[in-house]
Amino acid sequence: MAEPPRSAAGSQPLARLAEPLLRRLSELLDRAAPGRGWRDLAQRAASRGRLRLSPLDLEQCSLRVLEPEGSPSWSLLKLLGDRGCTVGELVEFLQALEHTEALQCLSHSGIKIVIQPDSQAVLSGQVVKLCCWATGHPFVHYQWFKQEKEVPHGNSPELVLNPVNVNDSGFYICRVNSESSFVFSRWAQLEVCDLQDTSHATDKVALLIGNMSYWNHPQLKAPMVDVYELTNLLRQLDFKVVSLLDLTESEMRNAVGEFLLLLDKGVYGLLYYAGHGYENYGNSFMVPIDAPNPYRSANCLCVQNILKLMQEKETGLNVFLLDMCRKRNEYDDTILILDALKVTANIVFGYATCQGAEAFEIQQSGLANGIFMKFLKDRLLEDKKITVLLDEVAEDMGKCHLTKGKQALEIRSSLSEKRALTDPVQQTASSAESLARNLQWAKAHELPESMYLEFRCGVQIQLGFAAEFSNVMIIYTRIVRQPPDIAVCRAYVTDFALDLDVDPKEANKGTPEETGSYLVSKDLPKHCLYTRLSSLQKLREHLIFTVCLHYEYPGIEETMDERKEVNVGKPLIAKLGLHQGLKNNDCLQTCVPNNPFHNQIESRPVAAQYYIPGHYQPNSCAGVYHTNPLCSDSIRQAEACSSNGVSRILASRREVQNHCPVEKSNVPVETTDDTAELEFLLSDSLGFSKQQ
């Protein structure tokens, strides 16, 4: 029989057990032999007065069998949890029933994995060692699996493949058994490349920026969805991704500076930008959300200047995906003369549209994508040379009748080697630069830990956190314990720093969509209140807020209040201080002038010079994405769309779009919720049998 959990685990409220664990217990109780089922458990629990259930409660549990996925045991465990049943008490009841399988589910704390196996990408012929070390009483046994098949002779903490070959590629996991329980390690992916394929990256990092909420220019819609979907795809390709929405000029410059810190020799670097932009004299400019109207090059970021700084890092591949218009900015008569780029064969530009043309968004059946991303996302995971992949995206876009003659993908490349976004990361001895790079990336993606707050009245509240972007976080709250003598109970978060500009009317909503978050709703726990915090890069101090609890007792009209202040530090991108002025390092000082309102000759950067021809009066609207109704170009564009009968589907990014639900990705959002117990999901398929 399994040992009961230790005191710390035994005192844990049953309501705090992870949902997969409760589901597993429910399945075991539902199909248990007579004398060990859920009714027997309810009878044992009745020995504790506060856990006694009424005949009506038991009848409601029983009626769950009539539902397609109903479970009487699930309903019983939830009722016991609501009444304050602890894990230790549940163990006592199960011991009395001699329900060994259910006890095993609750006794995993006896095994602790202290070293987890790591994913690796290696060349064939090398020696590979996967390690899993665990502690347990009195001792533990190991069994390695590749996918769902046992690895022959894989019964030790170290799985050694000597020499490794291409057929050894796959996902590996180790099951650790003790006398009465078992746990699984995390999955480790082994990627083995043939010696003939020498395309490897020392690392892969990406900076994704989507600007929508412009202060002085038309609002955009699609960049949020485009950045979110591209983030999920690149993460599947092992890119370290920083994804940011709505940055000012100084924030963009500092974000680029932090991105450059992630680069090193042999690293694959990818920069994606969606928002307003323009192109003058062969140079592309990204427009921050605080750019004045009209804007000029001194107010914007020059992509070619960023490329030069990337090259100085000796990167293995530089990919620029620019989802913006490329029309000439007639208000900007400055010619930016850059220092010559290095002659390297590792540069790829994917422009969403041709020079002098606009980029479009498409909205239909709740979708909100830019045309470029609509076609790019279908091919990005293909194992093909990046230029070949973009060529096929261009062909796909060319077949779209909505944009034919209006938008066409343009590719510029100096790539002479077979480089692909799917190239594996070569595992080498960690250099100081690599360690610093990983630390910098990790700093920008740390979420606060999920926490439980205890109030004097006996109510317990869970606070959880999820990352939608590197600078957008969702806080969700739920009541996990409510004493029976409290009739009404509600908790909400408030008192956020003014830097974040949180609208109280859009906080503490019953669904993520009501907060403006359409992208991650399916990945968040249900039955919570949700608050979306954006622009975390503006946070100057620790994120401190208040959790307010309102509750009422039966027969008393007065509402009771309790408040707790919570400090969660600096979450996600807030740690990097992008709100600060330009940092004092060379890579930023050489981007563009520090002060956009200084004379352009006096404040010229080291890496660039300006030639200013004689001033002339512009004769058309400035730049790209403008919406001046008096501009003849805008009128002609609207007529062109309407004449094809697709004006509600295809829209230039110059037009203001309304919010609507969007297509969701199948890649889960990062949250601080308790993760699923992997062994419960895999034990059946891996054919667990107790080690003798």
> Is 70 exceeded by the pLDDT of residue 588?
no
Catalytic residue among 300, 325, 587, 621: 325
pLDDT confidence of residue 439: 83
The top-scoring range by mean pLDDT among 73-77, 198-202, 269-273, 642-646 is 269-273
Which pLDDT band holds residue 110 (cuts at 50, 70, 90)? low
Provide the 8-state DSSP code for 104.
H
Average pLDDT, the chain: 78
pLDDT confidence of residue 91: 86
As a whole number, mean pLDDT of residues 180-186 equals 78
> Same domain, yes or no, for 248 and 311?
yes
> Same domain, yes or no, for 129 and 223?
no
Q: Per the domain annotation, does 199 fall within a domain? A: no
Closest CA to 588 of 240, 249, 215, 247: 249
Q: Per the domain annotation, does 661 fall within a domain? A: no
Which carries the bigger pLDDT value, residue 557 or residue 528? 528
Distance CA(311)–CA(308), nearest Å, equals: 5
- The CATH number of whichever domain residue 406 belongs to comes to 3.40.50.1460
Share of the chain above pLDDT 70, in %: 76
> Same domain, yes or no, for 528 and 638?
no
Q: Per the domain annotation, does 392 fall within a domain? A: no
Q: Per the domain annotation, does 681 fall within a domain? A: no
Q: How far is CA 406 from CA 143, 250, 323, 372, 397, in A?
A: 59, 33, 14, 12, 11
> Same domain, yes or no, for 299 and 263?
yes
Active site annotation includes 137: no
121 φ/ψ angles, rounded to the nearest 5 degrees:
-125, 120
Per-residue pLDDT tens digits for 66-84 = 887 789 999 999 899 888 8
As a whole number, mean pLDDT of residues 658-680 equals 39
> Same domain, yes or no, for 269 and 362?
yes
Q: Which of 160, 193, 226 is the last residue of a domain?
A: 193
> Same domain, yes or no, for 342 and 242?
yes
Number of domains in the chain: 4
pLDDT confidence of residue 685: 40
- Which region among 248-262, 319-333, 656-670 has the lowest average model confidence (pLDDT)? 656-670
Q: Which of 88, 109, 130 is the last residue of a domain?
A: 109
- The CATH number of whichever domain residue 183 belongs to comes to 2.60.40.10
Q: Per the domain annotation, does 673 fall within a domain? A: no
> Same domain, yes or no, for 12 and 105?
yes
Domain that holds residue 174: 112-193
pLDDT confidence of residue 666: 34
**DSSP for 123-148?**
ETTS-EEEE-EEE-SS--EEEEEETT
> Same domain, yes or no, for 161 and 299?
no
> Is 90 exceeded by the pLDDT of residue 556?
no
Contacts of 504 (CB under 8 A, 6+ apart): 494
> Is 50 exceeded by the pLDDT of residue 4?
no
Active site annotation includes 325: yes
Q: Which of 137, 171, 193 is the last residue of a domain?
A: 193
Share of the chain above pLDDT 90, in %: 38
Q: Per the domain annotation, does 691 fall within a domain? A: no
Which carries the bigger pLDDT value, residue 78 or residue 682? 78
- The CATH number of whichever domain residue 524 belongs to comes to 2.60.40.3360
> Is 90 exceeded by the pLDDT of residue 221?
no
pLDDT confidence of residue 249: 94
> Same domain, yes or no, for 208 and 188?
no
Q: Per the domain annotation, does 662 fall within a domain? A: no
> Same domain, yes or no, for 284 and 273?
yes
Distance CA(43)–CA(47), nearest Å, equals: 7
272 C-beta neighbours (distance < 10 Å), count: 26
> Is 70 exceeded by the pLDDT of residue 271?
yes
Q: Per the domain annotation, does 496 fall within a domain? A: yes
> Same domain, yes or no, for 39 and 171?
no
Closest CA to 311 of 264, 273, 356: 264
**Number of alpha carbons in the 13 Å side-chain half-sphere of residue 448:** 21
- Contact predicate 474/530, CB 8 Å: yes
Which pLDDT band holds residue 242 (cuts at 50, 70, 90)? very high
- The CATH number of whichever domain residue 73 belongs to comes to 1.10.533.10
> Same domain, yes or no, for 105 and 174?
no
Catalytic residue among 108, 276, 579, 626: 276
Which pLDDT band holds residue 337 (cuts at 50, 70, 90)? low
